[in-house]
Structure formats: C-alpha cells, structure tokens
Chain A
Amino acid sequence: MGRISISHTPLPKMSYLVILLVIAFVYSAPLIVGTYSASLLRDAMLFSMIALGLDYLWGKTGTLSFGHATFFGAGAYGAAIVSTKLGLDPTLGSWLGLISGVSIAMLIALVVGYFLIFGGVRGSYFTIVTLALAVISEHVIVGWSDITGGDAGLLGIPPLFFPTLSGLAPLSPVVLYWFIASVVCLTALSLWWVCSGRYGLILKTIEDNEERAQALGHNTSQHLLTVFVGSSAVAALGGALYASTVGFVAKDIVGLILSTQVIIWVAIGGRGTLIGPVIAAIFVIWFEQRISSINVQLWPLFMGFLFILAVFVFPNGVLRTLVGILRKLGQRLEHRV
C-alpha cells in the first residue's frame, strides 16, 4: 500500500476549516434537511463507526480486517438479546444491553485476536481469517434462530433512557440525533488525539517494519491486539447504539457484504485519516440508497467496480488523489508563469 502518512505531520490549515464545516453541518442537519433525512444521516453515522474502528486498525497499523461488521453485529445483537430476552426493565435493560453488546464484541476480538496475533498471523493471512469470521458469524446468526431470530431478526429493542425533568425517558428524535453525532465526533476526536502523538508513531513503526519495532523494545503483538480489540469496541459501540436507535436488528448487519463495504468507505475516504472514512461512509451509503432504489441488484455490482477503482485510481483515497492532482496542476501553472 501507499507509504504516505499524515498521522504525525501537522494538519494543513485548510483541513481544520473542512473539519469545522463538516461538524457544523452535521449538527445543524436536522434543522436544514428535515427529520426524515436526518434519521438516514443518523443511521449512516452509526455505520460509519465501523469505518472509524477499521481505520484505527487498518489505517494506523496496516492490518486489514475483512470481518469488521462482525463486531458491529455482535454489539447490535448483544444489545438486542440482553435488552429483550432477559426480561429486564427497559430503562435499565437498554443501557445494560449497550454495555454487554460492546463487551461481547471485545471478548470475541480478544480471543480471536490473541490466537491470531500471538500466533504470528499477519498481513494477508490475518485478512483471510477475519473474512472467514464474517462468513461464520453470518451462519451463526441465521442458524441460531431461537436466540438471534434467524432470518427474521429481533424486534422491539428499547431505546436508551435518559434522566429528564419528568423522570427517565427516551430522547426526542432531534436530540437523539445530536447525541449520536456527538458520540461519533467524540470517538473520532479521541482516536485522532490518541494516535497523533508518540503512540501513533509506534503503530506506524509496526506497520513499516515490525521486527525493527520489536528490536526497539516494543511488544508489537500486544500493541496489535490492543488496537484490534479497541477497533472492534468502536464498531460494536456503533452496533449497540444502532440496535437501540432503530429498534430492530436483522442479519444484514453482520457478514461479508457489510464488512467489505466498510473497506470501501475507508479506502475511498483515505486510509489513516479517520475523518475521511466517516465522510466517505455517509456519502457511499447515500449513493447506495440512490442506486438500490433503481435496482437492488445493481449495488453489489457497483461495489465491485468501486473496489477496483479504489485500488487502481485512488490508492490513497479520493481526497488525497484530488489534492495531488490539484497540486500538480498548480505547479504546472506556476511553471508557465
């Protein structure tokens, strides 16, 4: 993959402006585009948590997971099962579900990650095993229908309850939207903050040359495992919030199709930029809905072409490729003058 890294270089001034504009738009969206479009944007933001998680793993350490939807699904199904099947009071159950969903996903990541990473599985092998993880998790969700609802999914997941003046109550749609936007922004900012210093450089070293990083005294396997579990926690948080927000879960939130879609979001948005994949996720989901409204079968075909485009035309993401082209044009113009 490209060896361009912007994680440890100061961001250009323009990008601060872009980030501020994006955040301003995200927060004001319910007032501009209306509640229905805002709810689509809200769901897209929840899905973009998988992209954030994957970018923490793939963008920062170069390890590609082909099964990250598994963790989103584990978070969502964990939350759904705990909050609906245990007979808990919904005010408590929704929060307990959120916590259990994230914990289950982290546990899966910890066990799978321990055996793989400490077993020396790296690079393409790691990608393949995570791909199998996605296939298997889909089988488990469909086959274990007494618990997961099988093909039908699970309905009636309670929303999150917050303390208000009149006791515990779910949030109104607009406030819920702001809550979710804040969770996504905070997660992105904390990941960016965590990776911007020395820690980010250590991860970069592991990506570039793991043996050398070991020689410098870093326990690289432990670092990779931490990142893997952390990145699944981010995806699972998105999943658990999705379950309580939408109120139902179905099998399309686990498995290969969603897992690989996330890779497209990260690849198009620019691997390692964190904000890029989130923006790309939102745009691609919007584009997907457009295309699927013409013919549902067209979307996977488009996705196939997007993959090949991403590899050959935008190896470093659309934004960086465009900036590169503009810079070259600028230089050429300067040359003429």
Chain B
Amino acid sequence: MGAVITISLNAMTLISILMLVGLGLAIIYGLMGVINLSHGDFVTIGAFCLAIIQGLGGSFWLALLIAPLIGALLGFLTEQAIIRFLYARPLATIMATWGLSLIIQQSLQLIFGAAPQKVFSPLTTSINLLGVNYPSYRVVMVALSIAIIVMAFVIIRKTKFGLDLRTIIQDRDMAEALGIDTKFVYSIAFSLGTALAAIAGVLLAPLTAVIAQMGINYLAKSFFVVIVGGAGSVPGVVAGSLFVGGTETLLNYIVPTTLSQALVLVFAIILVRVRPSGLVRT
C-alpha cells in the first residue's frame, strides 16, 4: 500500500510540472497555432532566476514572485521581436524559436558556466501522508501547481480576457470583426504562457540539476502533453499530463529510464493514431 502511495505522489510531482509547462504551450499553440520551441528555455530561465535570487540572499518565495514577471517580460519581447512577424509561416516559427532556444541556452552557459547552479529547497522537512513519509516541498509544489491550473481555468472560463481568448481560438477573423484586439490578446497570452513556464522552472529547480540545457527534456514531454491531450484547453492539458506523467513514472519502476521514455513516445504515437484530435476534444 505504501509503495502505491509513493508512486502516485511521485507521479503527481511530474504531472504537476508537466501541467504548468504544457498549459503555456497549449495556450500558445491552441490560440495562435504557434509552436514555441523556446518554451523549455523559459523553464530554464525560471530556474536560473531562483539560483540568482537565492545567490543574492533572497528567498525562494521572492523568486516565485519575480521569476514569472521576468518570464512574462522576456516572452513579451520575444513575441514582439520575432513571433508576430511569422504568424502566417508556422514552420518558420518553429525554426526561429529553435534558433532563439539555442541562443538562450548557449548564452546562459557562457555567462554562468556548465556546472549546475546552486538552489535550495525552501522546505526540508517531510510530512506523513496516509502512512508514508514524503518530502513536504513536493507536496507544496503539487498543491501550488494545482492552484495555478485552477486559476488559469477560471481566467479562461470566467473573465472577459478568457472570453476573448476562446473566441479567437474558435475563429480569429470573426473575433477581429467583433472588435477584439487580437494582436493585444496574442502578446498577452504569449507572455502568460512564458510566465507559467518560468513558475514551473522555479518549482522544479530544487528537484533537479539547474543547467542551461534543462529545458529540452520538458519541452519534448510537454509537447506530448499537448498532442495527447488536445491543444487549446485546460482539461486537455490535465488529461495529457496525467497520461504522459503517469505512464512515465509507472514505467520507471518497471524498466530503465531510457526505455520508459522511449515507451512513452511509442504510446503517444499509437494514441495519436487512435485519437488524432487528442484525449479531450475541444
């Protein structure tokens, strides 16, 4: 029984990170049809923000506030400088954002070096959950991620901005005809997506090695989240994260990590064949 609980808690840790990274990606893809290959690097930027702020003596919670602001600002600049010229050229966007990704990774490595950055977890205790001792930081992280996802869901479902967003996802031309400032919504949505990635980076940092290339693994996985779940909706992202994160964590207990990652890919590809529009249809 204890093992089952530990496995589910471990799965929840991965799932909650994937939800945060995948949500940003799904909004950007579902809304603008833009595949942002530099999305993973905004996770890295979030993690580096934590390292810098803690290095200067700031606390984890301060970083959790500042990192999304920096992520949003850099995301806004990216949208203004590169993405907005390429909305009609999807493959060109993929190439340009990949170029940007290489530039961010390599600049971080040139400035900070190749060694992992030092970050500290804000909570070092563990708590007893259903008879299992589990690090309390991970529990807090899962709770925070769920809170953020719920918040995003409420914003998309209940606010004026969310309504505009959903209108554009359904029919961009019609939205424009109705007087929605699509360009403004695009740049705000893009910045929100990158801010979410930066939050994921801060939350993730104490659990992993903070290096310039850390984003790439989450990039590939969170794309599977979006593909498997269906782009452009919060429930789709949740379903996709449950599938990708759950399968990978479970498989990790049975087969070596390498094989489990390859198997997740195989499952995802088969799933795409069976349900081309994703688990949750929008």
Which A residues have a C-beta under 8 Å from some C-beta of B? 1, 62, 64, 66, 112, 115-116, 118-121, 123-125, 127-129, 131-133, 135-136, 139-140, 142-144, 256, 260, 263, 267, 297-298, 300-301, 303-308, 310-312, 315
B267 to A: closest C-beta gap in Å:
11
Q: Which of A128, A133, A300, A311 contacts B95 (CB 8 A)?
A: A311
> Contacts A115-B272, A142-B258 known; A301 to B227 CB distance under 8 Å?
no
Is B235 in the interface zone, CB < 8 Å from A?
no
Is B224 in the interface zone, CB < 8 Å from A?
yes
Q: What would 8 A/B residue contacts be, using CB atoms closer than 8 Å? A: A116-B272, A119-B269, A123-B90, A136-B261, A139-B258, A267-B95, A297-B109, A315-B89
- Contact status A119-B94, CB under 8 Å: no
Q: Is the interface of B mostly helix, strand, loop or mixed?
A: helix
Q: Which residues of chain A have C-beta atoms less than 8 A from B37's C-beta?
A: 131
> Contacts A64-B94, A297-B106 known; A304 to B216 CB distance under 8 Å?
no
Known: A115-B270, A297-B106. 5 other contacts (CB 8 A): A115-B269, A124-B33, A135-B217, A297-B110, A307-B96
Is B276 in the interface zone, CB < 8 Å from A?
yes
- Contact status A119-B35, CB under 8 Å: no
> Contacts A121-B272, A121-B276, A139-B258 known; A305 to B90 CB distance under 8 Å?
no
The number of residues on chain B lying at the interface, defined by a beta carbon within 8 Å of a beta carbon of chain A, is: 44
Is B120 in the interface zone, CB < 8 Å from A?
no
Stretch of B2-10, B53-61, B97-105, B171-179 lying at the A interface: B97-105
Q: Which residues of chain A have C-beta atoms less than 8 A from B92's C-beta?
A: 1, 311, 315
Closest B residue to A119 using CB positions: B273
Q: Which of B90, B102, B272 contacts A303 (CB 8 A)?
A: B102
B140 to A: closest C-beta gap in Å:
30
A195 to B: closest C-beta gap in Å:
20
Q: Which residues of chain A have C-beta atoms less than 8 A from B94's C-beta?
A: 64, 66, 124, 127
A313 to B: closest C-beta gap in Å:
11
Closest A residue to B262 using CB positions: A136
Complex interface residues of chain B between 82 and 129 (CB less than 8 A to chain A): 82, 85-86, 89-92, 94-96, 98-103, 105-107, 109-110
A27 to B: closest C-beta gap in Å:
34
Q: Which of A120, A127, A140, A303 contacts B276 (CB 8 A)?
A: A120
Q: Which residues of chain B have C-beta atoms less than 8 A from A312's C-beta?
A: 85, 96
Q: Which residues of chain A have C-beta atoms less than 8 A from B96's C-beta?
A: 307-308, 311-312
